[in-house]
Chains A and B, each alone.
Chain A
């Protein structure tokens, strides 16, 4: 694969309620930040891929409501397309468009405002209306089933999950964009009330309002116009079977996505060859489950930004992982490690991580 570069990144701050802003306003904030970061104007953007979910936005074809805000109407109109799912899947589509040879630059932007809808009802609507929805399952109760199976299978206890929470919340406290910026002690993590056993309140990521954008560019454009391109050296995307039809103790889709990405990037020993991982963990146990499938053992190098347990806007959070990994590779992260050369960013979507994408990024 001809390498494609990330040449601009932008994100809003993540907070429980941006009442002052429409979601189009958030999209503009992220888009303008990414353009400014890339030192480009909207005229330099050849096409746009957005990520959103009509149910979350409460209107049909909600991506049409952000056309002005992401520059799709600029200069008489640009090619714009939309992915319903995590922003990393929109990035994969954007990357494909560049590799088609028809575009030099793609803006990828994702948004959501959990504060505008009822998350329990919205995620209950993910389920089959004929056989599942009526039983009341939502994203938390579904994850509780996955946690039960995974933790038993791997003989993992509360302490290991609590350590993930403490680590991510400590990292999030250093991230000015994070939603939760207060560190949590192991006692606080373990003593929080049960939501759906075995999941406690602190095991669950917050649901934030926010938006994020990246600008992808062809190799020739990036070499000419970007001072600090971050290169996509490998990428893999894979979807799994529905909830009742897969083994919840593992994630075959993530394993396959990681295999594709590692193979493309020439990685055979992930722990030794990858300096940091930005992971989309909606729940504490998911960090441990996803790391098993990524075959990555260096927990202290995972989610240096605080991860989803510190800030999580639906649809947006995978793109934030790509942004935070890029910032580490540029030496500009809020919780910077030294000498970061290669990073993995991970996105997921659906109940209990039905679909995954894995990105190997290098500076």
Chain B
């Protein structure tokens, strides 16, 4: 007998991927390593300046893309900056480092550090007495125990 090629909705099977995961060891490279070491050891921000267009990249990288030039001139920038864009998030994400949910609401921001040409991204502290706005001044708050990664900065807040 020919069976009809038809299933009830409840008959469809799904296969879960389970707890399998793909671990990675991302190289930070020469420029990124120095950037994070300065954050960790001196709470300082350093960028690289393009010899051609003079743009200052923070975090630093080897190449200025538009000029296709390698960069070697280190420039200290910040720690103060100006808020260029922000959002207040009402849904959580799972912090990949801790596996815990980031409490909501939290702020996320693009910050133009003084002396930098590129936007630095980080969390923005939410403070009922300080409604954020594009163009306001902000400063970083550092973690006590710094390890040479982005979470060495807790967030930015009103300067």
Interface positions of A (Cβ within 8 A of B): 18-25, 28, 42, 55, 58, 67-69, 71-76, 113, 115-118, 121-122, 125, 129-130
Binary flags per residue of B61-78, CB closer than 8 Å to A gives 1, else 0: 111111110100000000
Interface positions of B (Cβ within 8 A of A): 15, 17, 20, 22-30, 32, 61-68, 70
Measured between alpha carbons, how far is A122 from B21 in the docked complex, in Å?
10
Q: Which of B15, B23, B66 contacts A130 (CB under 8 A)?
A: B15
In the bound complex, residues from chain A placing their C-beta under 8 Å from that of B32 are 22
Complex A-B: 5 CB contacts under 8 Å: A22-B26, A22-B27, A24-B29, A25-B29, A74-B66
The answer on a CB contact under 8 Å between A20 and B27 is: yes
The answer on a CB contact under 8 Å between A71 and B68 is: yes
Name which of A116, A122, A125 has the most chain B CB atoms within 10 A of its CB. Answer: A116
In the bound complex, residues from chain B placing their C-beta under 8 Å from that of A130 are 15
Chain A: which residue is nearest B57 at the CB level?
A68
The answer on a CB contact under 8 Å between A28 and B62 is: yes
In the bound complex, residues from chain B placing their C-beta under 8 Å from that of A25 are 29-30, 62
The answer on a CB contact under 8 Å between A129 and B63 is: no
The answer on a CB contact under 8 Å between B17 and A129 is: yes
In the bound complex, residues from chain A placing their C-beta under 8 Å from that of B68 are 42, 68, 71, 73-74
Q: Which of B15, B20, B22, B61 contacts A117 (CB under 8 A)?
A: B22
CB distance from B25 to the nearest CB of A (A): 5
Q: Which of B22, B24, B61 contacts A68 (CB under 8 A)?
A: B61
In the bound complex, residues from chain B placing their C-beta under 8 Å from that of A24 are 29, 61-63
The answer on a CB contact under 8 Å between B22 and A76 is: no
CB distance from B49 to the nearest CB of A (A): 15
Q: Which of B22, B66, B67 contacts A125 (CB under 8 A)?
A: B22
Q: Assuming the A-B contacts A69-B62, A74-B65, A74-B66, are A113 and B22 also in contact, with contact meaning beta carbons closer than 8 angstroms in the complex?
A: no
Measured between alpha carbons, how far is A133 from B80 in the docked complex, in Å?
50
The answer on a CB contact under 8 Å between B24 and A58 is: yes
Measured between alpha carbons, how far is A125 from B23 in the docked complex, in Å?
13
In the bound complex, residues from chain B placing their C-beta under 8 Å from that of A113 are 27
Measured between alpha carbons, how far is A115 from B17 in the docked complex, in Å?
24
Measured between alpha carbons, how far is A67 from B68 in the docked complex, in Å?
10
Name which of B24, B30, B32 has the most chain A CB atoms within 10 A of its CB. Answer: B24
Q: Knowing that A20-B27, A20-B29, A117-B25 touch, tell me 12 more A-B residue pairs with CB under 8 angstroms.
A: A18-B27, A22-B28, A23-B27, A24-B62, A55-B22, A58-B24, A58-B26, A68-B64, A71-B65, A74-B65, A76-B66, A121-B22
Q: Which of A21, A23, A28 contacts B63 (CB under 8 A)?
A: A28
CB distance from A250 to the nearest CB of B (A): 33
CB distance from A80 to the nearest CB of B (A): 11
Q: Which of A23, A58, A67, A74 contacts B67 (CB under 8 A)?
A: A74
The answer on a CB contact under 8 Å between B26 and A118 is: no
The answer on a CB contact under 8 Å between B65 and A68 is: yes
Measured between alpha carbons, how far is A24 from B63 in the docked complex, in Å?
9
CB distance from A45 to the nearest CB of B (A): 10
Name which of B61, B64, B65, B67 has the most chain A CB atoms within 10 A of its CB. Answer: B65
Measured between alpha carbons, how far is A12 from B63 in the docked complex, in Å?
17
Measured between alpha carbons, how far is A224 from B127 in the docked complex, in Å?
65
Name which of B30, B32, B63 has the most chain A CB atoms within 10 A of its CB. Answer: B63
CB distance from B74 to the nearest CB of A (A): 17
Q: Assuming the A-B contacts A25-B62, A118-B22, are A20 and B30 also in contact, with contact meaning beta carbons closer than 8 angstroms in the complex?
A: yes
CB distance from B1 to the nearest CB of A (A): 27
